[in-house]
Chain A
Amino acid sequence: MSLRDHLPILPIVLPLAAGALMLVIEERRVAIKAAIGVATAIVLVVVGIALTSVAAGADVTVYRVGNWSAPFGIVLVVDRLSAVMVLLAGVLGVAALVFSLARWQRAGPRFHSIVQFLLMGVNGAFLTGDLFNLFVFFEVFLTASYALALHGSGARRVRASLHYIVMNLAASLLFLVGASLIYGAAGTLNMADLARQWHDGTIGDRVLYEVGGAVLGIAFLAKAGMWPLCFWLPGAYSAASAPAGALFAVLTKVGVYAILRIGTLFLGADVAASPSPGTPWLVVAGMGTLVYGALGVLASRDFPRLASYSVLVSSGTLLAAIAIGETALTGAALYYMVVSTLALCAFFLLVELVERGRRPGADVLAVTAEAFVAVDDRHDEEVGTAFPATTALLGIAFGACAIMLAGLPPLAGFVGKYAMLNALFQPDRIPATSWTMLALLIASGFATVIGMARAGVRRFWASPDGSVPRVRAVELAPILALLVLCAALTTAAGPSMRYLDEAAQALHEPSRYVDKVMTRR
């Protein structure tokens, strides 16, 4: 076997090895650790690109760990969706690590190892084809995320992390209950085998199986940040340090990925034609998340909370879109997922730069001033001072993030939203759900515009303290790179959308996945 055959396991083994290696390197040799960390993340991006091209050619690639064939051994499965997700996680990893070089890597012990373990868990969750293995990888990245949420310490982080950890531990227990119920009903944990048994109708106790699926769904939805299971999210995400927040942008997407994978695999080829009992609920819950996120964006007084609620808006849009279950809509939603995750990552990094050097509580003061003292009494300030280049760059980056997240033209956020709306209005008879979704998508975009514009105007044009943050190039570079990537995805919307459409079609024909995994050699 050549290295190419072992490609699917590299996204798991590489960060594991790098993270473990860094544990034995002395804490004060930060430069070596940083070099290893960034190099590993870059290799992960390269592996991700290779995997996407492999998936484009071979549709579904199965890697048998220990050469045990399914359903007896654990398999890793690479298809278009998982390859894209691995690539996305790698890109976010590089961005967050490069950003952290300036100062965050010194804010707490073993930062680089933790990031690598997080990437390992996330990649494993994307690649595995086994339900219990999925649980293990969920725990790996969650444990790493607990440590990362605490990175930098401080009372606010400790308090927010406490809620985050307790919430996720409880959700993990639900995951275990769901997985064991499914095992009890079907006698297997291999996802393809479970799907095959479901379609063949050989599962003894279908009620037990469905209850297991429902409990499992609740666990995934809690991690995806679905309303009303998402109250922990804004607190934890806004308290996290900037690189941690940027990496957390992909964690909710792991929940969405799990829903998408398990949902399409277990619940049948055509979700729209034969909806499962939970699908209407998922549509409603997704829309509820969207509304909650949009209201949160409107109510946010500071940048970190704005970013956290934007995560919820993105999650809600995705959950509602994938629950409606049209193939074309899923393809568009996948495109939206990729671009909104990139934009959220850039935004989380940007927020810290923008907030840097400000007096704590300045936002509250500004809001209070806006509400109670409408008169601006600072007439005598000089007008037309030089506009510092740093502020200009930050402002441009902020504007681009806002345009991406609100879904305004010309950037990729608009393409994603437009493609979703286009897919919603394809059938001849347009159901009420589509109209509601249309209204919510546009309203949430409008709410994002208002929230972002208010925050941006207050910070960049009417800044109460007027200080220019001291920003290093290595911090600005990943943000600009992510935004350039978004712009590139806008111009390359055709090919990327086609790729993700094929990914959606493969998801809606689970037999392709099942046949490939279950074939004996």
Chain B
Amino acid sequence: MNEVVVAIGIGVLAGSGVWLLLRPRTFQVAVGLSLLSYAVNVFIFVVGRLRVGAAPIVTAGGAADPAAYADPLPQALVLTAIVISFATTALLLVVLIAARGVTGTDHVDGGEPDR
């Protein structure tokens, strides 16, 4: 049941992200990329397998059994991915604002399409 909820959540995030990414306004594209990166981050996290009610590291007093741990590597990976996507999104926002200022429009192509 847990897996289904998480999978649907990732799917909704990724789907909305892709839809927004294909929209013509730069702000929509920025939000779309953020949603997509959330989806990817949760996805990386889930790759370490979902476990309910398991101790994050070691249970009190018990002997250390590596098989009982949650896989720590995806957590380290997702931390790196979050930091990187945070930085690149910040950079993208600066470019969006610059593009808005330079071209005078928030269309991704820097001009309204001819009708």
A residues with a Cβ closer than 8 A to B are 132, 136, 139, 142-143, 146-147, 150, 153-155, 158-159, 161-163, 165-166, 169-170, 172-173, 176-177, 179-181, 183-184, 189
Residue of B nearest to A156 (CB): B110
Known interface pairs A159-B99, A173-B40; A136-B80 also in contact (CB < 8 Å): yes
A158–B80 CB distance below 8 A:
no
Query: Which of A142, A154, A170, A173 is most buried by chain B, counting CB atoms within 10 A of its CB?
Result: A173
Known interface pairs A139-B88, A146-B95, A155-B103; A132-B29 also in contact (CB < 8 Å): no
Distance in angstroms from A207 CB to nearest chain B CB is: 15
Per CB-CB distance, the 10 closest pairs between chain A and chain B, nearest first, are A184-B47, A159-B110, A180-B44, A180-B47, A155-B102, A173-B40, A139-B84, A158-B99, A158-B102, A176-B40
Interface size on B, residues (CB 8 A): 32
Known A132-B77, A136-B84, A169-B37; further 13 A-B contacts with Cβ < 8 A? A146-B91, A158-B98, A159-B110, A162-B108, A163-B108, A165-B88, A166-B21, A166-B92, A169-B85, A176-B81, A180-B44, A180-B47, A183-B77
B residues with a Cβ closer than 8 A to A are 21, 26, 29, 33, 36-37, 40, 43-44, 47-48, 73-74, 77, 80-81, 84-85, 87-89, 91-92, 95-96, 98-99, 102-103, 108-110
Within 8 Å CB of B92, what residues of A?
165-166, 169
> In the bound complex, how far is the Cα of B34 from the Cα of A485, in angstroms?
45
Distance in angstroms from A162 CB to nearest chain B CB is: 5
Within 8 Å CB of A150, what residues of B?
95, 98
In-complex Cβ contact of B87 among A143, A158, A165 (8 A) = A143
A173–B103 CB distance below 8 A:
no
> In the bound complex, how far is the Cα of B81 from the Cα of A109, in angstroms?
27
B43–A177 CB distance below 8 A:
yes
B98–A176 CB distance below 8 A:
no
Distance in angstroms from A117 CB to nearest chain B CB is: 12
Within 8 Å CB of B103, what residues of A?
155, 158-159
> In the bound complex, how far is the Cα of B85 from the Cα of A468, in angstroms?
46
In-complex Cβ contact of B91 among A143, A155, A176, A181 (8 A) = A143
In-complex Cβ contact of B33 among A147, A169, A181 (8 A) = A169
Distance in angstroms from B10 CB to nearest chain A CB is: 10
In-complex Cβ contact of B43 among A139, A155, A159, A180 (8 A) = A180
Distance in angstroms from A240 CB to nearest chain B CB is: 14
Known interface pairs A132-B77, A170-B21, A180-B47; A158-B88 also in contact (CB < 8 Å): no
Known interface pairs A132-B77, A170-B36, A173-B40; A162-B95 also in contact (CB < 8 Å): yes
Distance in angstroms from A107 CB to nearest chain B CB is: 15
Show 11 residue pairs from A and B whose CB-CB distance is below 8 angstroms, ordered by the A residue: A132-B77, A136-B80, A159-B103, A162-B95, A166-B33, A166-B92, A169-B37, A169-B92, A172-B84, A173-B85, A177-B40
Known interface pairs A166-B29, A173-B40, A177-B40; A132-B80 also in contact (CB < 8 Å): yes
Distance in angstroms from B47 CB to nearest chain A CB is: 4
> In the bound complex, how far is the Cα of B47 from the Cα of A143, in angstroms?
26
